[in-house]
């Protein structure tokens, strides 16, 4: 069988790589690279032997392993933004080295490391790395630095609607992105309906986005992987960072505990609009009390908060333990108490909270200088709670006496994951970096539980109470997911480098089992100094679906697993590109891709999931899609002027033509966020150590929308009812649905600017950030709708564009010590 032959070949290859160093009398240098000031591990730092030209990079834990022949080595350890170190070593045995690089003060503020993972040297393509310093400097909505919004400015990544932090990668949907926080997946990464992402930039160290050519150790989503690594904490001194912006305040603390073996890092963020709005709410309540001639009290608000924490303990140079947690929550509430003049008291309380809880324990251990182990156990939970309580009590003393009734409604939706995984990095020699491992995830889906309780009684006859107590439970759905992977980053020659691997996964749910063998391959051919061409292929499988009918992220969005009828989504993606790195003009890359997707789900015409997961399978249709495009990225990371220009030309289509599941009569139609052109220009200029400015300009083709172009009268049982038909009413006419996404909204464009004013004091430094969102007040469409209150040309109705964010200035103050 072909499969068995492939497997045997892989095992043979693996054994050969293991034996190779024994035959060649090689020795290994292993260790870590960290920041000299903070002790923070540096991901992607280069360790190069200048004599042989062999080298490696540090992994996600800042560890490296370099096996070379016994010889004298001239090692150079470098990381952009840091001063390089050199060391001569006579290699006669295995060596342990921990390098601490010193940040280059001059460079630190103006130079940021580029897409090193996808550099011309690397075999990886379609990956982008944005340093957190750059993300913080990008001017954004309300001045709130946001990782996801910064990524939306990259080619191949599109935002959803205005101001939204959801993103769409290479024609994929918003649920096809895997968000990893320290290797642990998050389900809902949005706050405030999607206007902000769940990642607090103060807690984040490194951000890498994969859009294609996925390494074999990633699986579970079709379109992208966003790998976010948080800070470990300073192992020298206690440091802090406090900032207050337009909508939120943040505080971060990090430092050693007792000695440099144990460090901590804590970050917290909370919005405070609910505090600011309290006077207004009280004013409205008082006004209402006057008009109603009663006592009316109102308390309402919305806020979100994030808590990130990480504890790192270094047992020795070979062993480290990380305990981390993330708690993010959005809370929307209102409390209304009314005491009317007829001595009737009413309470109406509404509470809605939703968010993620993540706890993980990670152990890094160096099994040998060439073999590195990372074991992770994690618990992830996303939940959405809604509670409504209504209580009324009348103290009237008529024949029926006092009366009281209570109504309570609760709604819960939850998904919990228990994850255990082991990842190995094996470096048999400088030509190979082998990664292999396995992961097991137990999912517990609880799409919806609703309960209602109504209790009413009169004091005259308590036994006359009226009681309804009901519960609707969609039932917990357990599911198990297992995956195994192996990949090798293999330098076949100085010119040719290949990253090949395979991910084997299986998903079991409700008696159904879906196996999937997913090959991955990418290759690089070095054409000259800093110039290479690359090609890649990846097959991805996704076992989860997100049920949502809105373009913005809502807490009511439900994650559900595949079923025996709804198959896993699959995507094949082919890509190729040319990459050039120049120390003068910067890095240039041009990539093209083609992606085909199967078993996509889409809501049938008119179907929606507003808090109802029952029989959701009946409401969706399965189909396929395809997307292709060209992406251009020019970025400059050196000098006072830095930034990038990204342009994407793309097309994304869908077709649902299975019998009985046709959408758009089975004909192909543009995907919701199909956009032909997408352009982003991001520039920063550093005037001095005290002042730097930045600006962004984005332009994209307008979003697609479906317009019903014809309306007609609704059938009535009685002829008299036709006379009552109100053209403005809700019930009098029917809109004849047109072709799906048959209309384009106006093009989107916007300019944002920002300036940072830095000042150093004796023991601390401060930064004042001033930014303006939508500088020229472009009224970009957030949504369009039909209105009969407006007129257009000869018609008594019109199509109306709603814009939500005009020019918005904001200020943020940050203090570091």
Partner 1 sequence: MSIRPILPFLFLALLCASCEEVLEFDIDPGDRQLVVNALPCTDSTLFVNVTYSRFFIDNQPFPPADGATVSVDINGVPTSPTSHDGANWWFPYTAVAGDLLTVHVGLPGHDPVSGTTRVPALPNMQAPIAEIDTLQPINSGDILFTLSDPADQQNYYYIYVEEYDSGSRWNQWESRWDTIDTVIHSYFNCLDLQVTDPAVNSSLGLMGYFNGLLFTDSLINGQAHEMKISLMMFKDTAENPIQRHYTLVVQSLSHEAFRYIKDVQQSQSVTQFFAEPAQVYSNLDGGLGIFAAIAIRRYPLQFVFKQQEDPIPQNKNKNISKAKP
Tell me the closest approach of the beta carbon of residue 797 to partner 1, in angstroms: 4
- Establish if 788 lies at the interface with partner 1 (CB under 8 A): yes
- Establish if 614 lies at the interface with partner 1 (CB under 8 A): yes
Binding-residue pattern over the window 590 to 609 for partner 1, x denoting contact by CB under 8 A: -------------x-xxxxx
Integer Cα distance of 176 and 189 in angstroms: 13
Given a contact cutoff of 8 angstroms between Cβ atoms, the answer to whether 535 and 523 are in contact is yes
Integer Cα distance of 634 and 680 in angstroms: 11
Of 172-180, 331-339, 464-472, 579-587: span binding partner 1 (CB under 8 A): 464-472
- Establish if 708 lies at the interface with partner 1 (CB under 8 A): yes
- Establish if 765 lies at the interface with partner 1 (CB under 8 A): no
Position among 357, 512, 784, 815 found at the interface with partner 1 (CB under 8 A): 784
User: Which residues from 357-396 bind partner 1, rule CB under 8 A?
Assistant: 392, 394
Position among 94, 262, 416, 706 found at the interface with partner 1 (CB under 8 A): 706
Place of tokens 């300019």: 751
Residue among 520, 321, 313, 548 at smallest CA distance from 447: 548
Q: What is the CA radius of gyration of the chain?
A: 29
Position among 86, 792, 811, 817 found at the interface with partner 1 (CB under 8 A): 792
Position among 363, 801, 813, 815 found at the interface with partner 1 (CB under 8 A): 801
- Establish if 458 lies at the interface with partner 1 (CB under 8 A): yes
Given a contact cutoff of 8 angstroms between Cβ atoms, the answer to whether 185 and 175 are in contact is no
- Establish if 8 lies at the interface with partner 1 (CB under 8 A): no
Given a contact cutoff of 8 angstroms between Cβ atoms, the answer to whether 64 and 32 are in contact is yes
- Establish if 786 lies at the interface with partner 1 (CB under 8 A): yes
- Establish if 440 lies at the interface with partner 1 (CB under 8 A): no
Grouping H, G, I as helix, E, B as strand and the rest as coil, residue 130 is coil
Integer Cα distance of 54 and 47 in angstroms: 9
Binding-residue pattern over the window 553 to 592 for partner 1, x denoting contact by CB under 8 A: ----------------------------------------
Position among 799, 813, 815, 816 found at the interface with partner 1 (CB under 8 A): 799
Tell me the closest approach of the beta carbon of residue 153 to partner 1, in angstroms: 23
Q: What is the torsion angle, in degrees rounded to the nearest 10, for the CA atoms of residue 287, residue 288, residue 290 and residue 292?
A: 170
Integer Cα distance of 323 and 311 in angstroms: 5
Q: Tokens for 410? A: 């609760």
Integer Cα distance of 216 and 501 in angstroms: 5
Q: From residue 600, give the alpha-carbon distance in Å to each of 154, 377, 504, 563, 651.
A: 25, 31, 21, 13, 17
Q: Would you say 565 or 779 has its CB closer to partner 1?
A: 779
Q: Would you say 74 or 728 has its CB closer to partner 1?
A: 728
H/E element, 66: strand 63-69
Q: Would you say 66 or 663 has its CB closer to partner 1?
A: 663
Position among 11, 287, 395, 466 found at the interface with partner 1 (CB under 8 A): 466
Q: Would you say 215 or 623 has its CB closer to partner 1?
A: 623
Q: Would you say 341 or 463 has its CB closer to partner 1?
A: 463
Grouping H, G, I as helix, E, B as strand and the rest as coil, residue 287 is helix
- Establish if 803 lies at the interface with partner 1 (CB under 8 A): yes
Integer Cα distance of 87 and 65 in angstroms: 16
- Establish if 473 lies at the interface with partner 1 (CB under 8 A): no
Binding-residue pattern over the window 663 to 702 for partner 1, x denoting contact by CB under 8 A: ----------------------------------------
Q: Tokens for 475? A: 């039932």
Position among 638, 800, 813, 815 found at the interface with partner 1 (CB under 8 A): 800
Q: From residue 799, give the alpha-carbon distance in Å to each of 383, 728, 739, 792.
A: 38, 14, 17, 8
**Residues with Cβ < 8 Å from 797, sequence gap 6 or more?**
786, 787, 788, 790, 791
Place of tokens 């499969």: 3
Integer Cα distance of 562 and 544 in angstroms: 6
Of 100-108, 436-444, 573-581, 787-795: span binding partner 1 (CB under 8 A): 787-795
Q: How many residues does the chain have?
A: 817
Of 12-20, 348-356, 623-631, 780-788: span binding partner 1 (CB under 8 A): 780-788
Place of tokens 């144990």: 262
Residue among 620, 499, 596 at smallest CA distance from 540: 596
- Establish if 531 lies at the interface with partner 1 (CB under 8 A): no
Tell me the closest approach of the beta carbon of residue 460 to partner 1, in angstroms: 8
Position among 253, 412, 808, 815 found at the interface with partner 1 (CB under 8 A): 808
Instruction: Determine how many CB atoms are found less than 10 A away from the CB of residue 189.
Output: 25
| HEC readout, 589-614 | EEEEEEEEEEEEEEECCCCCCCCCCC
Q: Would you say 785 or 817 has its CB closer to partner 1?
A: 785
- Establish if 550 lies at the interface with partner 1 (CB under 8 A): yes
Position among 456, 508, 630, 653 found at the interface with partner 1 (CB under 8 A): 456
Of 204-212, 305-313, 758-766, 802-810: span binding partner 1 (CB under 8 A): 802-810
Place of tokens 């032909």: 676
- Establish if 279 lies at the interface with partner 1 (CB under 8 A): yes
Q: Tokens for 626? A: 């395809």
Given a contact cutoff of 8 angstroms between Cβ atoms, the answer to whether 255 and 237 are in contact is yes
Q: Are strands 432-458 and 403-429 parallel, antiparallel or unpaired?
A: antiparallel
- Establish if 776 lies at the interface with partner 1 (CB under 8 A): no
- Establish if 655 lies at the interface with partner 1 (CB under 8 A): no
Tell me the closest approach of the beta carbon of residue 474 to partner 1, in angstroms: 13
Tell me the closest approach of the beta carbon of residue 697 to partner 1, in angstroms: 21
Q: Tokens for 81? A: 């933004």
Integer Cα distance of 82 and 33 in angstroms: 11
Q: Tokens for 185? A: 């997946």
Position among 286, 496, 791, 811 found at the interface with partner 1 (CB under 8 A): 791
- Establish if 457 lies at the interface with partner 1 (CB under 8 A): yes
- The count of residues interacting with partner 1 (CB under 8 A) is 84
Position among 70, 400, 473, 765 found at the interface with partner 1 (CB under 8 A): 400
User: Which residues from 245-264 bind partner 1, rule CB under 8 A?
Assistant: none
- Establish if 736 lies at the interface with partner 1 (CB under 8 A): yes
């Amino acid at each position: 069988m072909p499969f068995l032959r492939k497997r045997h070949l892989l095992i043979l290859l693996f054994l050969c790589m293991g034996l190779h160093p024994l035959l060649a009398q090689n020795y290994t240098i292993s260790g870590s690279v960290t920041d000299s000031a903070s002790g923070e591990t540096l991901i992607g730092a280069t360790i190069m032997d200048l004599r042989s030209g062999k080298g490696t990079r540090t992994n996600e834990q800042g560890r490296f392993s370099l096996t070379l022949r016994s010889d004298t080595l001239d090692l150079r350890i470098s990381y952009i933004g840091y001063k390089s170190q050199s060391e001569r070593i006579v290699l006669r045995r295995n060596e342990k080295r921990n390098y601490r690089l010193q940040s280059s003060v001059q460079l630190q503020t103006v130079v940021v490391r580029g897409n090193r993972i996808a550099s011309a040297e690397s075999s990886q393509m379609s990956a982008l790395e944005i340093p957190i310093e750059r993300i913080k400097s990008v001017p954004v909505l309300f001045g709130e630095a946001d990782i996801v919004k910064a990524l939306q400015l990259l080619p191949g990544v599109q935002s959803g609607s205005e101001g939204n932090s959801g993103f769409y990668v290479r024609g994929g949907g918003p649920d096809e992105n895997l968000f990893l926080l320290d290797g642990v997946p998050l389900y809902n990464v949005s706050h405030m309906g999607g206007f902000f992402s769940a990642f607090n930039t103060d807690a984040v160290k490194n951000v890498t986005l994969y859009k294609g050519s996925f390494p074999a150790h990633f699986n579970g989503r079709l379109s992208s992987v966003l790998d976010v690594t948080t800070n470990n904490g300073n192992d020298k001194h206690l440091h802090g960072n406090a900032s207050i912006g337009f909508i939120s305040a943040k505080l971060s603390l990090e430092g050693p505990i007792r000695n440099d073996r144990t460090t901590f890092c804590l970050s917290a963020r909370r919005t405070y609009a609910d505090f600011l709005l309290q006077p207004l709410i009280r004013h409205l309540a008082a006004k209402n009390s006057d008009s109603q001639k009663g006592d009316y009290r109102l308390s309402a608000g919305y806020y979100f908060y994030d808590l990130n924490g990480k504890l790192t303990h270094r047992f020795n140079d070979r062993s480290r333990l990380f305990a981390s947690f993330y708690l993010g929550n959005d809370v929307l509430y209102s409390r209304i108490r009314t005491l009317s003049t007829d001595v009737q008291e009413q309470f109406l309380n509404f509470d809605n909270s939703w968010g993620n809880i993540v706890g993980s324990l990670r152990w890094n251990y160096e099994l040998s200088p060439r073999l590195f182990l990372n074991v992770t156990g994690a618990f992830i939970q996303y939940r959405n709670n809604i509670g409504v309580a209504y209580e009324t009590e009348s103290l009237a003393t008529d024949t029926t006496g006092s009366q009281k009734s209570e109504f309570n409604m609760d709604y819960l939706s939850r998904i919990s994951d228990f994850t255990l995984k082991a990842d190995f990095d094996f470096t048999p020699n400088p030509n190979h970096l082998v990664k292999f491992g396995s992961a097991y995830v137990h999912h517990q889906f609880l799409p919806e539980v609703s309960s209602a309780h109504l209790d009413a009684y009169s004091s005259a006859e308590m036994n006359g109470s009226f009681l309804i107590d009901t519960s609707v439970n969609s039932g917990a759905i357990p599911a198990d997911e297992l995956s195994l992977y192996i990949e090798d980053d293999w330098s076949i020659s100085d010119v040719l480098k290949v990253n090949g691997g395979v991910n084997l996964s299986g998903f079991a749910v409700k008696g159904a089992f879906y196996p999937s063998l997913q090959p991955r391959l990418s290759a690089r051919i070095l054409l000259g100094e800093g110039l290479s061409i690359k090609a890649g292929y990846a097959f991805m499988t996704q076992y989860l679906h997100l049920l949502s009918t809105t373009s913005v992220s809502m807490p009511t969005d439900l994650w559900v697993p595949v079923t025996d009828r709804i198959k896993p989504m699959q995507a094949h993606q082919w890509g190729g590109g040319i990459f050039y790195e120049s120390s003068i003009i910067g890095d240039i890359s041009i990539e093209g891709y083609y992606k085909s997707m199967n078993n996509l789900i889409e809501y049938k015409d008119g179907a929606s999931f507003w808090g109802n997961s029952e029989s959701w399978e009946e409401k969706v249709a399965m189909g396929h899609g395809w997307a292709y495009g060209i992406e251009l990225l020019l970025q400059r990371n050196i000098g006072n002027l830095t930034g990038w220009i990204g342009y994407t030309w793309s097309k994304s289509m869908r077709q649902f033509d299975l019998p009985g599941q046709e959408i758009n009569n089975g004909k192909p139609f543009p995907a919701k966020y199909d956009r032909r052109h997408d352009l982003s220009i991001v520039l920063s200029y550093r005037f001095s150590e005290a002042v730097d400015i930045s600006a962004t300009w984005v332009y994209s083709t307008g979003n697609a929308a479906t317009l019903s172009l014809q309306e007609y009268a609704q059938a009535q049982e009685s002829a008299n009812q036709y006379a009552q038909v109100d053209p403005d009413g809700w019930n009098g006419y029917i809109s004849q649905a047109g072709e799906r996404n048959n209309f384009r909204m106006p093009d989107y464009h916007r300019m944002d600017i920002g300036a940072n004013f830095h000042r150093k004091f004796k023991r601390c430094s401060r930064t004042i950030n001033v930014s303006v969102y939508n500088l020229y007040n472009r009224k970009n469409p957030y949504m369009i709708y039909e209105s009969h209150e407006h007129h257009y040309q000869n018609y008594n109705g019109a199509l109306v564009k709603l814009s939500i964010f005009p020019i918005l200035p904001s200020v943020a103050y940050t203090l570091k010590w």
